[in-house]
A and B are shown apart, each in its own frame.
Chain A
């Protein structure tokens, strides 16, 4: 049986982020979760090619570059998940016929890569000043063979786990924007992982708030 996390305690790795470190993109951020780090750059709202422009809202494009090698099928599927999450949050109707490009570069991968990409994407959107309806964060849960839930697993823990679930959670009422699963788990276990992820999301949103406050306190 799955064991509950004791009283709201979240065992996430140490995380840190840096905003506005690249000079060319309109918004940039790097997010570190333990040893996993991702660099995100955002360009937009910029001129869109006629073939790609949408008449009523902005066309969002995500590019994920792995640390070594060329982007493959795994990167393409992750790009689609990121794009769907960002499209749900960005108020694209305020910028019709424009293109918003988000480029993510994996700097190091030590587990929980997709949630690190989600967090870096949200910080880059904040840095660029694009209109957002809500913030979002990514949390990865690993379901051990004995049923315990581990949040923010390392690469070793991911390999030993029975199932890995990644959730994108919005800041307004902790709604779920995206859920993806690798492996097999029961419906109850998924609900428990989701509840644990929603509790962990509070810590991550508080961290976003602190980072932005620190940035604005310098000016």
Chain B
């Protein structure tokens, strides 16, 4: 009895046709033939086809397998054509996995000698050296207590090592990172909403800024810190941001119109 070998998506479909559509784990994406050559391009191309220069980037949610890419998480397939091209899967997740270069909000849980331990929402606490602040020296230590909020970026974040954070960039300037001040409100949202908020010209932030002035720190680990003039304004902004996950653009505009009318 012959059993059908699975749908077309599982046998392999060209990656270009699935861009913008939902892909599931186990789907095989076929790449155009010219990606099979080695990246250095040592072989001379005798055919007239135009091959894009540069390497193809295989982003989160995809894994190299044989002649194509195997999808490992469910989500929408995205493609960026510039510089050799990149494919990745845009998925909705709640759990954060540390990635090098991400800016995150961490909560100090312990001080162990010269190093602070921070909870960043991943599987391990991250470490932050006391010298990794702008203007910090052995004599001039930063005033960090247990329970403080810190905005920093990862310099080491892979599956084999404990993640390490710093609050300075490569030139030694803090550029907005460091200890987050008093008051304000910290809450957690899904990673998809964070990516939406961090996109350039985000409508949600623009509409909220018309409402009240406020300070906002967005961490890639799903944490947002908000501070407005009064507690009530802070809580209103928190509720709107939390509800943005489920509301459409129209519902959000209606809610904001109601609030600014009050």
User: Which residues of A approach B to under 8 Å, CB–CB?
Assistant: 20, 26-27, 44-48, 91, 94-99, 126, 128-135, 170-174, 192, 195, 198-199, 202, 205-206, 208-209, 212-213, 215-216, 219
Contact = CB atoms under 8 A, between A and B. Distances in A.
Contacts of B91: 129
Pairs of residues from A and B, 9 with the lowest C-beta to C-beta distance, nearest first: A129-B93, A134-B26, A132-B25, A131-B72, A26-B95, A98-B123, A171-B26, A198-B3, A195-B1
B26 A45 contact: no
Contacts of B93: 26, 128-129
B74 A202 contact: no
Contacts of A94: 159
Given A95-B123, A199-B3, A212-B22, A26 B94 contact: yes
Interface in B49-88: 61, 63, 70, 72-76
Contacts of A202: 4, 6-7
A205 B9 CA distance: 12
A135 B70 CA distance: 12
A45 B22 contact: no
6 contacts: A131-B25, A170-B26, A172-B6, A198-B3, A206-B7, A219-B192
Interface of B: 1, 3-7, 10, 22, 24-26, 61, 63, 70, 72-76, 91-95, 97, 123-124, 159-160, 192
Given A96-B160, A195-B1, A216-B76, A171 B6 contact: yes
A208 B160 contact: no
Given A98-B123, A128-B93, A216 B3 contact: no
A94 B95 CA distance: 14
Contacts of A195: 1, 3
Contact of A47 (B26, B63, B123): B123
Nearest to A215: B92
Contacts of A199: 3-4
B159 A129 contact: no
